Structure 1
Amino acid sequence: MTAAHRQTRATSADELCRQAYAACDGPVAGVALVAVGGYGRGELAPHSDLDVVLVHEDSVDLGGLASDLWYPLWDSGRKIDHSVRSMSQVLEAAGDLRVALGLLDARHLAGDPGLSLRLRTTMLADWRRQARSRLPELKALTRKRHDVTGELAHASVPDVKEAEGGLRDAGVLKAIEASWLVDASTPALEAARLMLLDVRDEVQDLAGRPGDRIAPEMWGPLAERLGLPDAGAAQRHVRSLGRRITHLSRLAWRRTDAVLARPTGEKGRRTPALERIAPGIALSRGEVVLDAGTNPGDDPTLLLRAAAEAASRDAVLAPTTAARLVRDGAELPTPWPAPARDALVRLLASGPALLPVWETLDEVGGIESFLPEWEQVRLLPHASAIHRFTVDRHVVETCAEAGALIRGVRRPDLLLVSALLHDIGKGSLHDHSVAGEPLARKVVTRMGFTDLDAEVVASLVRWHLLLAGLATTRDPDDPATTAELLTHVPDAASLELLRALTEADARATAPAAWTSWRESLVDRLVSRAGQALGTEIVPVVPVEALPVPDAVRRDAGAVSVEITPHEVGATVTVIAADRVGLLADVAGGLAALRVPVKAARAWAQVDADGEWGVSAWEVPDAYLDATVVRERIGRVVEGSQRLPDLAERPTGELPPIVEVRPDASRASLVLEIRTSDRPGVVHRVLTTLAGLGLTVASAHVSTLGPQAVDVFYVQEVGGVRPTEERAAAAAHAVRTALGG
């Protein structure tokens, strides 16, 4: 069935209503019969009701017109949803949001066409006048409906009208558009809506009754009617339409919220202001776009970096920008450059903010540009009924869950990439874990990870179901269970990763998949395996020796600052005579300039002239001035520089984790710190350690999305390893300094 069939049904219904009205011999002026809702749009399904309103001027006496009109319509066998209202009563009834939405689609059927026109213009004007108060009400009503019906793209028995991403949401977008506050209607929306109307018509015709839910047994016949190969193709078709409308709906509501947040009467600039947030990338009215003058073909990392910026800031990745980057952007080389790999990890680490950005990438074909294997799982239904999402959405949810667990593993990047690839083998004819292993190895190698990292990820994909299976079907306290687990998990770092991936996968599956009981069984088995493995030694990352400038060698108080711009910011390299508190002073100088630190490493160099403290800081600003940075560090050393206070930890946010790893280094105390990335974190940690008289022999600072993961190798003055008491005191002091 097509739009032509719907028009035929509407035309037939219109003729029926006009004949009934004509037979009543009612007043010529001041009374009109109008269609509202779906009938007003001329979109009647095979079993739709006829929603009509007999409206009249307040001064007109209808007499027996109403009853004379309804009886022949009832006798026709059609289901009629009808009402009689004066113009003043119509405005009063429009206080009900559902009534107001139906009246926005009012269409003249019979009687006084001038009154019908006045009704429609009055309702549209009233809707626009009250939009700032009515749209939040509409959003709340929409969310309540979604809570009951679920998502069209994922529900096992989807409702093509009421579910999130269904026809009701398409109507809501038209109502947002009618407010004149936001451009919510697009060609993509209208195309999806019309195809979903075709689906609804076939569903009602198949069922032989009103209703919009697709039962499992209907997918096969529906595929035949829609000209699709099989039931699976029908599911992918319908769910893709739902996903598109869901994406457009979420985007429209984000933009609506942004408009409503502006004070009443504030007029936007004719040309939106651009706030540069990264090389080639800017923020405009809450949306990540390309900076002025940026050529997409010059930088193959732009798409991933723009997506990472949007997700990290919980901002909208502008669909037109994403589409342009997919269309005109440079192809990623193999292996990927480091900025692309880092951007993907930042994107995956962004938690719930990942979903809307990933949806935008999916809609514009962006995912296939860097992960062509995604097409195999896109919109693929799960074979198991316990899953609440399709495979691709489950993967995204797993990444979001893993983002909350990166503090508990030593290689957060490998956890996040494993979460992205753990079900990549689904859709093949073989066990998805077996099929996914070589695929994951291939993908991770293409991304530019080392061969060793690729083997770790491939192993996690192969055995991602092992831990939960053993813990719930075998005795976790049986040594044989531990031995079987350790057959496939060679070291403590891999065990951490598998434990975190198991939890993220289960949480993304369904609430029943990760209960406190299941968690306790998994943790008992992990504990047994950890005892059998012992503690892994984490080596200090070797670093290169840098030449010490002559000015630093001659003057013990001199500080050398060198800035090296690169494609995603700059590296600030600082060299000075080593001393307690040097790193804290450098971090303070950058904090004074409000320069965010994306990553950092620090080490000591010793030569015939003395000991030198060397640090390299990765920052997003490629236009820093070395003289200004050096001057600010000097003012911090002098104590004349006022530093910004460490931003308070928001209520409800997870407290910082500060752990001592006593066996990670023989020469140093290793402090591992995982906390939310807030301005001044690095400076606060380093200042606290310096205040205790501790030196930092080596530092490894990284920011993954919203979280900071920092490791400091700490010594006493003279290179002595701190005692256990000093280690405990240092951990407590740092935890307190970070608000723990």
Structure 2
Amino acid sequence: MNRTRIPNQRRIIDRRALAEEIGRLHSEDGKDARPAIVERLKEALEKGREELAERLLDKPSAGHECAGGHSFLIDQLIRVIYDHVTGDLLPQSNPTPGERLTLLAVGGYGRAEMAPQSDVDIAFVTPQRRTPWCEQVIETMLYLLWDLGLKVGHSSRTVDEMITMSKQDLTVRTAMLEGRYLWGDQALYDEGARRFRSEVVRGTARQFVSEKLEERNERHKRMGDSRYVVEPNVKDGKGGLRDLQTLYWIGKYIHNVRSASELVDVGLLTREEYRSFRRAENFLLAVRCHLHTLTGRAEDRLTFDFQRQIAERMNFAERPGKAPVERFMQFYFLQAKRVGSLTGVFLAHIDDELAQKRRRTGLLAGFSPKPRMLKGYRVFGGRIAAPGDDWFERDPVRLIEIFQLAEAEGLEIHPDTMRLIDRDNGLIKQEVGKDPRANALFIDLLTGRNDPETVLRWMNETGVFGRFVPDFGRVNAQMQFDMYHHYTVDEHTIRAIGLLNRIEKGDLSKDHPRSTKLIHKVGSRRAAYVAVLLHDIAKGRGGDHSVLGAEVAQKLCPRFGLTASETELVSWLVREHLLMSATAFKRDLTDPKTIEDFVAKVQGIERLRQLAILTSVDIRAVGPGTWNSWKGQLLGQLFDSAQERLRLGHKRDGRDLQVDAKKEAVAEILGDRSALIEQSAAQLDDAYWIAEPDDVIALNLVHFDAAKAAGHKLSVHCEFYEARGATLVTVIAADHPGLFYRIAGGIHLAGANIIDARIHTTRKGWAIDNFLVQDPLGQPFGEDDQLERIETAIGDALANRIELAPKLAQRPLPRTRAAAFDVNPQVFFDNTASRRFTVIEVNARDRSALLNRLARALFEGNLIVQSAHITAYGERAVDTFYVTDLVGDKIVDKKRLADIEAALLEAASDKRQRELESA
């Protein structure tokens, strides 16, 4: 691309001095000098790398200079090696025409963009069939390069072979496209370059562009298909270096440009866009160089464990509400966003250019269809365009209007107009933000029936969104440094809006049947969309984003044109948008007090419906796999219980009626085995019947009866539980102290994660414990050998055939990235959340067998666990326990609570984990 001038080149490597020294070593010792020569070359390579590493620390954002410096270093080494091989080892006294050789730097090396651990891609080109001399030179050079520890990607071809393979293979053609003369026969290089342009490139522009874009799309799919994933791939991810390189390849292929700056001369980029191109490329190259330096390998994924280190190396400082790593990643995503904007405009221009060529040469060469007019805009070929350069300057509200029209009419925005929007977004001043027409247009866009997600993303990438809604601009490209959130705040929000639109259209009825029905019952769909827009609007402000966001909603909703009642509803939804998920996932939904407390906050059916919809899209928009049927079931159970309570007022349904209704439902499932209900009724108290779902009770009764009939003291049954997207593990055993933590340990040993647990004891001392488990990726265990492994592990744990603690310590979590985060364990007690139990919530770093260790601490503290609810938020686990003391009372004594807290904190601590692993 653009060759960056490298300052103080001889401090990196002095080629002349190195060549002279190697020549001297060879003249003194001949072929025996090889070890000394290799050693001298290694020293030169290491010294050069050390110099460049020091420069990167001094100028941590100088990506072009660092990448160019490494290319320069390799250039000089290869030239010295070539001259040594052809001059000292294999000299030619009278070369034939076939004994010519030229060296091309290709790939990233050809662009002079090398990170410290990049491969060295070289093409050895000969005029015709390779002669023995050429083969010897190539082989000798490669052995010397390998001896230096370089990773060399090489090819050896004649000019004819190079042309033939370039025609057949897109990868070869791309490599040759950016081939750079490195050393050797200049005339041969010139001949190959001329033939490549005339025989390969000419007449194939459309095919090349199509294939490169298809290649790019496939790469994006592999990388997550978003430029806002929180662990981006700097090279191959969306908005990364490869996207910029694709622009250059296409521009070079079509217009034969020699550098990115010439894209301006041929009209594909404006001067300001080119400057953005260089700034983004410079930053991304710097990040990649830091990654290679820190890892000592060709690592391009910017994982959590390196984000913090690179933020420090690049001198990002802390700001109120934002850690250095969050500021660094926000800047990263702003660059990726800019790359996306440049890509969109650039490719649309290429498309126009190729279409014009097609029209000029096709059957319709003389036909020019006229555009139609839409509110003063030109609409042509599915695109809407501003009619003149000063269109937005004359009325800045049009900067909102054009996006609303694009969404309503299903149109794309012409690339020239996107450029105008990008240029003119500064016209959106305070008066535009207050303009009723502008706000009405924005709400129409937000609540659009076609595809508001895509159009809002265009609006965001042009900078209009953040200027029109400055609070949204503050979360633009903002990441959250954790393993739970997959996207930046703005991308998460826009995705959530898109999900709401798809739910309303019925596209997600299978995964979200309840929300699909509810969205058509809410009193204000505007409130639903605005609540999704604003639910995370206050993140990164250094306080509770829910409370701060509710204040923002009170300010913005009237501006958007919402009524006072809609404003109040949206503000409440933003303030309480985590209420439903926290209740469903961390509380016992069969405890009447849980539902009472939830309903006391919700207070009405409209709020409940709106909150259920917002909760669903918020969870799903976090990232792939975050939403699952288990979460859907829990949220649905909470919704149904709350709705019933709201409709009945605050009248409590009698326990006897609930138990009778449950028994009737179970009898229907059991059919001719319904007599089991009466046989076991005397042993199972009301709490069991209320706590468990109908189908689980039916399974438990059959299992319990079979265990008693067989005289088993321990019976374990596992089966795939489709309704919950998990595996149900039922353990029936004689109850004894420590049973819960031992069962949990056995399940963990089998490689499963417990997501919910209910513990019951019959009046005759039998434990009936139900666990829902998944694998570490959130999927159920379904294979017979997996289920058998769980049963065996539980049996071994309960029979003391294994020592749990050391065995469990040997099973670290598969997602060891959690070590990149500081998660200080915390313990919270709540004696108001249940009438019968003390609720203990433990927040800690997710790790191997955490539940087992916490359960053991509770057992050693003489506590009885009634139920456990396990939730994972990336690297953070939240485990909630409903407990009593040994006589069935709540724990209220302050010293007792302090002792329990200390024991749980020790069980959850990193120190305790290290002790177990070293034991």
Give the TM-score range, shorter chain.
0.5 to 0.7
Task: Please provide the CA RMSD for this pair.
Answer: 3.4
| CA distance in structure 2 between the partners assigned to 1:499 and 1:128 by the alignment | 58
| CA distance in structure 2 between the partners assigned to 1:93 and 1:143 by the alignment | 24
Note the C-alpha offset of 1:520: 3.2
Identify the residue that residue 221 of structure 2 maps to in structure 1: 147
Q: 1:417-436 alignment to 2 at 5 Å? A: 417-436=530-549
Note the C-alpha offset of 1:117: 2.6
SS at match of 1:288: strand
Gaps (5+ residues) in structure 2? 1-55, 57-61, 256-265, 318-323, 505-518, 649-919
Q: 1:4-403 alignment to 2 at 5 Å? A: 4-22=65-83, 23-24=85-86, 25=91, 31-58=101-128, 61=131, 63=133, 64-94=136-166, 95-125=168-198, 126-127=200-201, 129-150=203-224, 153-180=227-254, 186-187=273-274, 188-229=276-317, 230-253=324-347, 264=358, 266=360, 275=371, 278-284=374-380, 286-292=382-388, 295-312=391-408, 313-316=410-413, 318-328=417-427, 331-333=430-432, 335-337=434-436, 339-350=437-448, 353-403=451-501
Identify the residue that residue 748 of structure 2 maps to in structure 1: none
Identify the residue that residue 455 of structure 1 maps to in structure 2: 568
Note the C-alpha offset of 1:102: 1.4
| CA distance in structure 2 between the partners assigned to 1:491 and 1:225 by the alignment | 52
Note the C-alpha offset of 1:440: 1.2
| CA distance in structure 1 between the partners assigned to 2:182 and 2:216 by the alignment | 30
Note the C-alpha offset of 1:135: 3.0
Note the C-alpha offset of 1:298: 4.2
Change (3 A) 1:121 1:416: farther
The one-letter amino acid paired with 1:189 is: F
Change (3 A) 1:69 1:333: closer
| CA distance in structure 2 between the partners assigned to 1:227 and 1:525 by the alignment | 47
Change (3 A) 1:68 1:520: closer
Note the C-alpha offset of 1:146: 2.3
Deviations 1:298-322 (A, max 9, x none): 4342111111223342513642121
Note the C-alpha offset of 1:489: 3.3
Identify the residue that residue 618 of structure 2 maps to in structure 1: 505
Note the C-alpha offset of 1:335: 4.2
| CA distance in structure 2 between the partners assigned to 1:506 and 1:270 by the alignment | 54
Note the C-alpha offset of 1:370: 1.3
The one-letter amino acid paired with 2:124 is: L
Stretch of structure 1 that moved more, 129-138 or 164-173: 129-138
Answer yes or no: is the 8 Å Cα contact 1:53–1:83 preserved in 2. Answer: yes
Note the C-alpha offset of 1:396: 0.8
The one-letter amino acid paired with 2:155 is: S
Note the C-alpha offset of 1:442: 0.7
Note the C-alpha offset of 1:329: 5.3
Q: 1:462-481 alignment to 2 at 5 Å? A: 462-474=575-587, 476=589, 480-481=593-594
Answer yes or no: is the 8 Å Cα contact 1:422–1:436 preserved in 2. Answer: yes
Stretch of structure 1 that moved more, 39-48 or 400-409: 400-409
Change (3 A) 1:384 1:192: closer
SS at match of 1:54: strand
| CA distance in structure 2 between the partners assigned to 1:4 and 1:290 by the alignment | 40
| CA distance in structure 1 between the partners assigned to 2:144 and 2:587 by the alignment | 71
Note the C-alpha offset of 1:290: 1.7
| CA distance in structure 2 between the partners assigned to 1:271 and 1:111 by the alignment | 52
Stretch of structure 1 that moved more, 423-432 or 235-244: 235-244
Change (3 A) 1:228 1:272: farther
Deviations 1:511-556 (A, max 9, x none): 4432233223323433444455559xxxxxxxxxxxxxxxxxxxxx
Larger helix percent: 2
SS at match of 1:392: helix
Share of identical aligned residues, percent?
27
Deviations 1:121-152 (A, max 9, x none): 44345245323233333233223322333368
Note the C-alpha offset of 1:108: 0.8
Note the C-alpha offset of 1:250: 4.5
**Which structure's CA Rg is the greater one?**
2
Q: 1:638-649 alignment to 2 at 5 Å? A: none
| CA distance in structure 2 between the partners assigned to 1:306 and 1:167 by the alignment | 31
Note the C-alpha offset of 1:398: 0.8
Stretch of structure 1 that moved more, 125-134 or 98-107: 125-134
Deviations 1:536-592 (A, max 9, x none): xxxxxxxxxxxxxxxxxxxxxxxxxxxxxxxxxxxxxxxxxxxxxxxxxxxxxxxxx
| CA distance in structure 1 between the partners assigned to 2:314 and 2:130 by the alignment | 49
| CA distance in structure 2 between the partners assigned to 1:387 and 1:59 by the alignment | 57
| CA distance in structure 2 between the partners assigned to 1:236 and 1:124 by the alignment | 41
| CA distance in structure 1 between the partners assigned to 2:350 and 2:181 by the alignment | 31
Change (3 A) 1:513 1:159: closer
| CA distance in structure 2 between the partners assigned to 1:155 and 1:190 by the alignment | 23
SS at match of 1:404: helix
Change (3 A) 1:271 1:506: farther
| CA distance in structure 2 between the partners assigned to 1:84 and 1:365 by the alignment | 48
Answer yes or no: is the 8 Å Cα contact 2:345–2:418 preserved in 1. Answer: no
| CA distance in structure 2 between the partners assigned to 1:6 and 1:381 by the alignment | 27
Identify the residue that residue 412 of structure 1 maps to in structure 2: 525
| CA distance in structure 1 between the partners assigned to 2:176 and 2:125 by the alignment | 11
Answer yes or no: is the 8 Å Cα contact 1:152–1:160 preserved in 2. Answer: no
Identify the residue that residue 589 of structure 1 maps to in structure 2: none
The one-letter amino acid paired with 2:285 is: L
Deviations 1:213-259 (A, max 9, x none): 33323233322332322222222222322232234335545565677
Deviations 1:600-625 (A, max 9, x none): xxxxxxxxxxxxxxxxxxxxxxxxxx
Stretch of structure 1 that moved more, 439-448 or 155-164: 155-164
SS at match of 2:254: coil
